[in-house]
Structure 1
Amino acid sequence: MLEKQDKLYRTAFGLALFTIFYNIAEGIVSTYLGFEDESLALFGFGTDSFIEVISGLGIAHMVLRIQKYPESNRDNFERTALRITGVAFYILVVGLVVSSVYNIWTGHKPLTTFWGVVISAISILIMWILVWWKRKVGRQLNSAPIMADANCTLVCVYMSIILLVSSGIYELFEIPYIDSLGTLGLAYFAFTEGKECFEKAKSNKYCCCD
């Protein structure tokens, strides 16, 4: 029984590490292609991925903590990671909103949003698999923190869907401002994530999106 539990915790830790490295790769590719294609939504999506890396470090640390001390509360490392992540999200929100308003004001349009469609579709698939796998491990361990992390991963799915819809509509119909409107949608979710980070840092609640 104990051996099976240790194996499940190793799986949970492996999923946390995969999430970190995937977000690094996604962030690099998305920000580069977003800049090259002048797609603010894709660039903002990539920037969000880098912020998720900071959050992922806190999650990986959390898995190790609850493996050793299942009844323990959130420690200083996790609270610090949450505060840094929250600040980064709020900065991102300001940047996305200001840039979106400027693009709408000037009538700026991306060169293409093709890569936004491709990257968002891949992200939706990967994130859904992660949600399913984290929930499976969380149920088997009867771990509220791991289940909460799985639920919070759904936010990444929602943001990917926004990118897919806005990029797809622009690529098909070249509707003006749709890239900027998609960016504002990303900003909304970034704001909710930032708010949640500060709320979690102040309490022992696992996930406000639970």
Structure 2
Amino acid sequence: MPDKQRTQTLQKAERLQKYNALYDAVEVGVSLTAGFTSGSAALIGWGLDSTIEVISASTLWWRLHGEIKDIPDEKVHQREKITLYVIAASFLIVSCFITYDSVNKLINQETANWSTLGIIILCVSLVVNPILIHYKRKYGKKLNSEELIADSKDTFICLYQTVAVLGGLLAVRFLDLWWADPVAALLIVPYALKECYEAFRKARVK
């Protein structure tokens, strides 16, 4: 890719990460408020995943910004490794918390209450996340960036989690399935651990 075209793509990817971090910050505030108010393990886990995404998006922005500013290749490479390690750690932390919180709620048979605020932010996320995934993959392929592609997978997991959490809340509300909320949260864990391993492996070989 010509230098000018690569720079333009880098700038677009950098802006995308800014928007991603800002939107995820909104998700964090709304979902954690709704989750703790309603006692929903799935909403709380979803909010924590959004917290990790803020960190991941910000770290990836830092890496892209460095290349735009034409820092030495060695430092760009170092930032790539750090970004992948941050993404891997993010997946691991979220997986551990969701597992602990969900199992605890299953053991105590805790039922989540209805949360209109939670439903609204989940529905908004169903629209926003596919757009983010599309452009992260697009720019990731153009730039040959494993970090952007890994981050698109992180966002895909968030989308999958959104569907699971929404389904769990609706099942609790309309089908009276008290266990649906923590089970919906646990469905996320295998995917998150898989992506944790992939990001860590790529960081090690860089």
| 1:13-92 map, 5 Å | 13-67=14-68, 68=70, 75-92=77-94
- Cα distance in 2 for partners of 1:166, 1:7 equals 42
Identify the range of structure 1 (153-162 vs 16-25) with the bigger mean alpha-carbon deviation.
153-162
Distance 1:136 1:79, change over 3 A: closer
For residue 75 of structure 1, give the secondary structure of its aligned residue in structure 2.
Answer: helix
| AA aligned opposite 1:144 | N
Aligned to 1:143: 143
Aligned in 2, Cα 1:190/1:134: closer, same or farther, shift over 3 Å? closer
Residue from 110, 113, 129 that aligns with 2:112: 110
Q: Which segments of 5 or more consecutive residues in structure 2 lack a partner in the other structure?
A: none
Q: Which moved more, 1:27-36 or 1:108-117?
A: 108-117
Cα deviation code 1:47-100 (max 9, x no counterpart): 01111122112321332345548x879633342343344334323322221221
* Count of residue correspondences: 202
Q: In 2, distance between residues paired with 1:96 and 1:135? A: 27
Where 1:183 maps in the other structure, the secondary structure is helix
Q: Would you say the 8 A contact 2:105–2:182 is kept in 1?
A: yes
CA contact (8 A) 1:26 1:46 kept: yes
- Of stretches 11-20 and 91-100 in structure 1, the one that deviates more from structure 2 is 91-100
Q: Identical aligned pairs, as a percentage? A: 23
Q: Which residue of 2 aligns with 1:207?
A: none
- Over 3 Å counting, the alpha-carbon distance change for 1:135 and 1:106 in structure 2 is closer
Instruction: Please identify, of 175-184 and 7-16, the stretch whose mean Cα deviation from structure 2 is larger.
Output: 7-16
Cα pair 1:89 1:190 within 8 Å, conserved? yes
Which residue is 2:164 aligned to?
Answer: 162
Q: Give the partner amino acid of 1:145.
A: S
CA shift for structure 1 position 158: 1.6
Alpha-carbon offset, residue 196 of structure 1? 2.7
- Secondary structure (helix, strand or coil) at the match of 2:113 reads coil
For 1:183, the equivalent position in structure 2 comes to: 185
Of 71-80 and 150-159, deviating more is: 71-80
- Match of 1:11? 12
- Kept in 1: contact 2:10–2:64 (CA 8 A): yes
Q: What is the Cα-based RMSD across aligned positions, in Å? A: 2.8
Is the Cα contact below 8 Å between 2:161 and 2:185 reproduced in 1?
Answer: no
String of CA shifts for 1:92-112, please: whole Å, max 9, x gaps.
Answer: 322221221221121110111
Q: What TM-score comes out, normalization by structure 1 length?
A: 0.80
Cα 1:74–1:192 change in 2 (3 A) is farther
Cα offset, 1:129, TM superposition? 1.2
Within 2, Cα distance between the matches of 1:35 and 1:27? 12
* Counterpart position of 1:202: 204
**Residues 45 and 186 of structure 1 are in contact (CA less than 8 Å); yes or no, is this contact kept in structure 2?**
no
Aligned partner letter, 1:60: W
Give the CA deviation at 1:201.
1.8
1:172 is aligned to 174
Q: Does the C-alpha gap of structure 1 residues 149 and 14 become closer, same or farther in structure 2, counting only changes over 3 Å?
A: farther
| Structure 1 Cα separation of the partners of residues 87 and 150 of structure 2 | 15
Once residues 83 and 12 of structure 2 are traced to their aligned partners in structure 1, the CA distance between those partners, rounded to angstroms, is 22
